[in-house]
Each structure stands twice: as structure tokens, then as C-alpha cells.
Amino acid sequence: MNQVEMLEENIIKTEYSEIMQKSYIDYAMSVIVSRALPDARDGLKPVQRRTLYDMYELGIRWDRPYRKSARIVGDTMGKYHPHGDASIYDALVVMTQDFKKGLPLIDGHGNFGNIEGDGAAAMRYTEARLHKITEQGLLTDLDKDVVDFVPNFDETEKEPSVLPAKFPNLLVNGSEGIAVGMATSIPPHNLAEVIEATKAYLKDENISTKGLMKYVKGPDFPTGGIIINKDDLLEIYRSGTGKIKVRGKVDVEKSKGGKTKIVISEIPYPMIGSNISKFLSDVAALSESKKTLDIVDISNQSSKEGIRIVIELKKDADVDNFINMLYKKTRLEDTFGVNMLAILDGKPETMGLKKIIRANVEFQYQVATRKYTNLLEKEREKREIQEGLIKACNVIDLIIEILRGSKDRAMAKGCLVKGETDGIKFKSRESKVMASQLMFTERQADAILDMRLYKLIGLEIDALVRDHENTVANIYRYEDILSRKDSMTQVLINELDIIKKEYTRKRRTVIDNCEEAVFEERKVEEMELMLLMDRFGYLKTIDLSTYERNKEAVHNENKFVVKCRNTGKICVFTDIGQLHTIKVSEIPYGKFRDKGIPVDNVSNYLSSKEEILMVTSQSDLNLYRLVFVTADAMVKVVDGGEFDVNKKTVSASKLMPEDKIISVHILKDMSSIVLRSMEGYFLRFSLDEIPEKKKAAIGVRAMKLNAKDKLEEAYYIQNSTDSVIIYKEKEINLTALKAAKRDTKGTKIRV
């Protein structure tokens, strides 16, 4: 067979789509199982498990000195987790943060970030060690072969496939992670409540979710707060999915001068991080937009002792209404989306409360079975040796005679195990007969031959007998645990009680049914204002009387001056065919000489690259039509009612590639339009020649342009009204231009 035929035999023909599908599924499952989702048994993701195990192997225990985080991260990456140091350090940092975890697993020393979103210091500056609960509840008994060890990524080390968790860590610490096509979001819970629920399940495997919730009341967030939809929790814990509504804790204090202070001492769990500063800015925005006039001052007085955000109100403020406004308009009331997804039997699965506890309990039974099977084997070996030594002490003179008469260790061991006396010198025939009847086991014989003379002291012999009695008792106990499920269950309950007694803490989150927050918005007195926008894009509004007093200066200093109502909206048209709407209430109201704010501060969708062509009130658009002119000489008229939309940004006109709008104008009393090109061509024609189109249309050609020519300007004139412009330092009366037809070249004016 030649080489070509061999190659043809090895070629597998298949659909490309099938290969892509299989490869993507393999990749997705790798991310889901090996990186993003926690294991239901120990509640840890692989990076967390590897970090904790590495610290355990390095001896960085709770009662030993801290070690540099960089040392831990480097060792973990080199041995177990080759996915970059950032992911390992991030996992380590989160496991130290008591405001994220219900029960931190790592004891951090140094700057590990704070609740307000400040990041941790670099790993070379921080230090860490294991918490005592981590050793006692997750890592103990690893030396007793209680879990399977698997090869690491390069098969040079062994790592545990799961840690022998003695409590449902998945519930206690919760978990968040995004995989491919799925995500997990499990809230933290109170350790004591979870342990009591686990004990209840151990005593009665048929207990319902409702029965378990007599112990697990609901999430217990480390940030405290108030869960307000208590009645929804049962269904959430049955299905493993749902939404939990959380409010911050608000206290009311009286300050000097009769003013009221709203003090926020606990925040919703989703608010931790940068959302605290977002909350402060949202409260400030409520005041700036005149949604409330009650705020005197806002201050963040939070410290290491806890959260303290203070909002000072006026004397006559309606406190209850203001607090309800905070719940409705800010993240002081927020939603935690529950999706209790974890890896069970190698597959991702959404689990309710009972299933998570069952998964951990079944795992604890497996761990306990392996543990006590190994302990029983060791105790049986110990009993065998102890019985041999006790028997040897009773015939110690004979054994000494055998040892003295033997030529080597093998000869002496053969006599002790098999009764072989050939070659051994005995003092008497009786000794030889007795020696031939000894029959020790191999293990007993080795122990006798290794025994030191001081073991023959009376006290040592008494201690040996006591040890033997303890060994027999242990064997009986271990056999009882392994043979009777009730005994093993009691062992697990006792271990849970020890953990609960040492590490329990009071619940932080209050659970209740609260009425939905209702507040009365302050009724804004409707009034007419003048909107001013200068050439730098700064916006402000002033009242009509101020405008009348400074009319000339207003028009000289501002690019756009528009009459509007404080309850209405402003429409901003740009050269790329976009329409941005802005609420007038969001624009600062003040004095004529106030600076105002940049337009992109009140319209997040407005790009700095867009040129603003026209600003008008939305109410005016409904009354008139608009004309659009582009640089490529496309023109159309659009009914203003098409722009009465609620979206903040919409497309105002469709454009050809590389084209842009040069003019948007409201048609009121205009009769003609004059177009001017870059090369100096002017074309005047009647506005009636421009057809009305939809906003999504491109329009029709208004003027024939040379190959490289573009329109620069559009002028609008009224009948019998002179309209004079300055073009290249020359006055031109547009009204005197000869009227022509649309889609002609126009007249070139030479200067």
C-alpha cells in the first residue's frame, strides 16, 4: 500500500457544522465544569479549591504566620491552575472579603479592597493564611483518603477533585459566576441556620422544602438589609430560581436646628462596590432635577466600622415620602436574581434548597464511609501488633533466648512466625519445643524484633495494655459507625454541632413582607422657559423675564435659543441623522451668567463627534414640517409628528454612505430655499418642489453637483423679504437670485 492510499484511509469526511458544534460544546462544557460554576458538594469553583489546597500544602495554617499572596498565587498557578495569576488572586481576594462572603475562608492581612469598590493592593503587598473554619470544615481528613485525588494539568502533582466539606458551603458562602450560555447566582446564608437545616435533613430525608425553611429563613447577606418579599421565598427555594427584593436599612435622626437626618446603615447586597457611589450620584440627581427640594446635604461617612450614608433634609420635609422615593428612584431597594446552578455528578443543574443540602449530605456520608473504613483498617493493624507485643511480654525470656541463639534476623523471624528452630541454639529442649509453637504473624514478628528493651518496664507494659483496650474500643466504634446508618448520622450531627458552636453568628438580614414603596412626586408648576446652548455645547434654562432683559446678549452669546416648557422635552438634531431627546427638567435652571452643563452630560447617547444642527422643543415639532438637506444635495420634507417618540435617541434621517446632513430647518413662513456649494454654485427654488417623505427615506436630489463638489449651506427666504448674506466678503441678496427648478446646477457666483 502506497503513502497516498494510506492517507486516504485516514481521512474522515464529515460536515463542517458538526465539527464546529462538537468543538463548541466541548469548549462550553470545559468552561462550565472546570472554571465558572461551583461544585454542589463543597461549594467551590476549581480556582478556589486549588488555592485553598495549595495554602494547605504550603502549611499556611490559621495558627501560623501570614505568607505573601504572590507566593500563594505563584505556587497555585505553577502546580494546579495555569490560567493566569489575575484569576487566582481575584479568587483569593474575594475569599477574604467579609462583605461578600457569609463566612470568609481566607484570613487576609493588608489592603484587600473595601465595600465601596476600591480594589485590593497588588499581590506583592498583601499577605494571607487560612481561616480556622476552612481547615476544620473543608480541609480536615484529606490525609485519610476521603476524596479522590486526580493528576494536575501536567501530571506532575496530585490535587483533590473536591474538598471534604463538612457543611453545605455552597449555601453559606453563595456563589456567582458566568459560564457559556448559563450563569449562577446563589445568595449567602447564615451558617447556624444551614447547619440546623442539614441536621433536620439527616434526621428525616423526607423533609420538605417548607420544613427546611423553618431553619433556613432565607438569605443572610453580609451587608445586612431587609428582604421585603418573604412570601416569595418558598417558591424560590423550591425551584432554585427567582427574584429577592432587598432594601437598605434606614434610620431617622434629629439634628440641631430641627433638621432631619436620613441615615443608611445597611445597604442591599447588590449595591456593594461602585454602586454605592452611583447611589450617591442618583440622590444628588434627584435634587438637581427638582424631583425633590428637601435635600440640604449628602455625605458618605462610612468607615471600617460600617456603612453610614447621611442625607440631611429640611425641617418641613415629608420623611416617609422621601424614604419611599429613595426606594423607588435609587438602588436603595434592589433585586437579587437567584439562580442556584451548580455542578452535580459532573453536570450543571439548577437545584432547590433541599437538593443542595441532599448533595452535601450524601457527599458527607461518602467521606465518612471512606474515613472510618481507613481508620478501622489502621486500628485493626494496630490491634494485631499490640496483641503480639502483649503475648511477647508473657514469654519474653523465650524470645530473648531465640534472639541470642539466632544467626540473623531472618532466622529469628522464621522461628517467631513459622516455629522454625533449625540452626537456633537453645538452652534446653523445653525451650526449643515452646519456640516451635509460637506462631506470631508477620506484622507481630517485625514489631517484636523492633521492640526496645525499655518496653519491658512494668509501666510500659501497663500502657501497652491500656492502648490495646482503647484500640479494641475504637474498632468496635468504627464497626458500629460503618454498619449502622444511625451511628454515622449521629457522627455527622456531632461534627456539625462543633462547627456551629464555634463559628455561629447572629443573622444580619431581616426578612419580612413589606408593602411596595409609594411616594407622591412633587407637582412641578408648569412654566415657560428659554433654553440656551452656547457654541461649546453648554446647556441651561432661564425664565422669560431674564431673557427679555438680556435679549441681545442672549442671542449674541448662544448658538441656539429655544422657548420651551419645564415639563417638556428638547429635540437635538445632528449631522449624522440622529435625533436626541432631553427632558427640560434634567437641564439646570438658573441665572443668565451661569455656566450650565455639557449637553452630553444629560444625553449619554450624544457623541462628541456629532455636530448639532438644530435644537427645538418637541411640542413645536408636532405643529410643523421639517426640511433636511445633505452634503450630497439630497433633500426631503418630513412631518414633525414622526418625531414624537419616547426613546432618548432615534434615527431622524437615512443617509447614503459618507454623506451627512448640513441643515435641518422648521418650515413656518418660508417659501424658497437657496443651496450653496463649496465651488460657489447657488441654486434657488421653491420649497413646494421638495416632496414630503418618511424619516426613514433618503430623499430626492436637490442640485446637480460636480464630481468633487459638496453642499456647504442652505438658506431659507420668505416672499418679498430681502435676505442678504456675506459670501467671501461680498454681499449677496438671495432674494434677487433667479428662481430655478430643483435638480439643476444653479448659478456660479464669482467674487
pLDDT at 547 over 70: yes
Write out the three cell numbers for 637: 420634507
Q: How many CB atoms lie within 10 A of CB 89?
A: 22
Residues 532 and 497 in one domain: no
Same domain as 400, residue 327: no
Q: Which residue, of 277, 310, 331, is where some domain finishes? A: 331
At 617, which helix (H) or strand (E)? strand 612-617
Average pLDDT, stretch 119-145? 94
Residue 4 pLDDT > 60 = no
Can you give the pLDDT at residue 293? 81
Query: Among candidates 561, 557, 563, 564, which has minimal Cα distance to 536?
Result: 557
Question: Please, are residues 746 and 677 in contact by the beta-carbon 8 Å criterion?
Answer: yes
Higher-pLDDT residue of 451, 678: 678
Pair 446, 409 in one domain: yes
Q: What is the average per-residue pLDDT within 517-541?
A: 81
> For residue 158, what is the domain's CATH number?
3.90.199.10
Facing residues of 309 across strands?
264, 300
pLDDT at residue 401, as a whole number: 83
Instruction: At 184, list the grid cell.
Output: 449562577
| 226 pLDDT tier (thresholds 50, 70, 90) | very high
The reply to whether 185 falls in a domain is no
Q: How many CB atoms lie within 10 A of CB 190?
A: 25
Most confident of 177-186, 197-206, 272-281: 197-206
**Of 349-358, 382-391, 732-741, highest mean pLDDT:** 349-358
Confidence of residue 28 (pLDDT cuts 50, 70, 90): low
Question: 391 and 284 in one domain?
Answer: no
The pLDDT value recorded for residue 413 is: 85
Asked if the structure places residue 532 within a domain, the reply is yes
For 607-650, what is each residue's pLDDT tens digit? 777 899 999 988 888 788 899 999 999 999 999 888 877 788 88
What is the per-residue pLDDT for 646? 79
Flag whether pLDDT at 149 surpasses 60: yes
pLDDT in tens, 291-309: 788 888 899 988 888 899 9
Final residue belonging to a domain, choices 163, 193, 225: 163
Together in a domain, 533 and 498: no
Confidence of residue 120 (pLDDT cuts 50, 70, 90): very high
Tell whether 493 and 560 lie within a shared domain. Answer: no
> How many Cα atoms within 13 Å fall on the side-chain side of residue 197?
29
Is 228 part of any domain?
no
Q: Average pLDDT, stretch 334-342?
A: 93
Q: Has residue 212 been placed in a domain? A: no
Question: How many CA atoms does the CB half-sphere of 713 hold within 13 Å?
Answer: 13
Together in a domain, 311 and 369: no
pLDDT at residue 455 in the model = 67
> Which CATH number is 278's domain given?
3.30.1360.40
CB-based contact 541:530 (threshold 8 Å): yes
The predicted structure's pLDDT at residue 558: 92
Confidence band, pLDDT 50/70/90 cuts, at residue 476: very high
Secondary structure of residue 161 in the 3-state scheme: coil
- Cell readout for 90 is 481575584
Report the percentage of the chain scoring pLDDT > 70: 94
- Residue 503 or 30, more confident: 503
Does one domain contain both 444 and 310?
Answer: no
- Tell me what pLDDT residue 84 has: 86
What burial class does residue 511 get, using C-beta atoms within 10 Å of its C-beta: 0-12 exposed, 13-18 middle, 19+ buried? Answer: middle
Q: Is the pLDDT of residue 171 over 60?
A: yes
Is the model's pLDDT at 217 over the cut of 90? Answer: yes
pLDDT averaged over every residue in the chain: 88
Domain boundary among 144, 163, 182: 163
**Cell numbers linked to 101:** 462572603
CA 245 to chain CA centroid, Å, is: 17
Q: What share of the chain in percent tops pLDDT 90?
A: 52
Given the residues 24, 125, 476, 605, select the one marked as catalytic: 125
How many residues are recorded in the chain? 751
One domain, residues 481 and 595:
no
Cα–Cα separations (whole angstroms), residue 35 to 28, 32, 185: 10, 6, 15
| Crossing angle for the helix pair 442-450 and 409-418, to the nearest 10 degrees | 130
E runs forming strands in 199-317: 226-227, 241-247, 249-254, 260-266, 295-300, 309-313
Higher pLDDT, 403 or 256: 403
Q: Is 327 helix (H, G, I), strand (E, B) or coil?
A: helix
Looking at the structure, tell me whether residues 475 and 574 fall in a common domain.
no
**Confidence bin at 502 (pLDDT 50/70/90):** very high
Per the domain annotation, does 600 fall within a domain? Answer: yes
Q: Is the pLDDT of residue 343 over 80?
A: yes
Coil, strand or helix: which one is 149? Answer: strand
Q: What is the CATH number of the domain that holds 397?
A: 1.10.268.10
- The answer on 411 and 314 residing in a single domain is no
Q: Which residues contact 102 (CB under 8 A, 6 or more apart)?
A: 172, 173, 174, 188, 189, 190, 191, 220, 221, 222
- Evaluate if residue 519 carries a pLDDT over 90: no
Asked whether residue 103 is assigned to any structural domain, the reply reads: yes
Which position has the grid cell 464529515?
A: 14
Query: Where residue 2 falls among pLDDT bands split at 50, 70, 90?
Result: low
DSSP string, 627-647: EEEETTSEEEEEEGGGG--SS
| pLDDT value of position 20 | 76
Residue 94 has pLDDT above 60, yes or no: yes
Domain boundaries, position 50: 44-163
Question: Which of 125-139, 214-228, 449-463 has the weakest average pLDDT?
Answer: 449-463
Binned at pLDDT 50, 70 and 90, residue 248 comes out as: very high
Least confident of 84-93, 307-316, 358-367: 307-316
Residue 394 and residue 310 share a domain: no
Contact indicator for 52, 130 with CB cutoff of 8 Å: yes
Residue 9 lies in a domain: no
**Is 503 considered catalytic here?**
no
Question: What's the rounded mean pLDDT across residues 233-253?
Answer: 94
Residue 205 falls inside a structural domain: no
What's the domain count of the chain? 4
Confidence (pLDDT) at 19? 74
In this structure, what CATH number is given to the domain that contains residue 726? Answer: 2.120.10.90
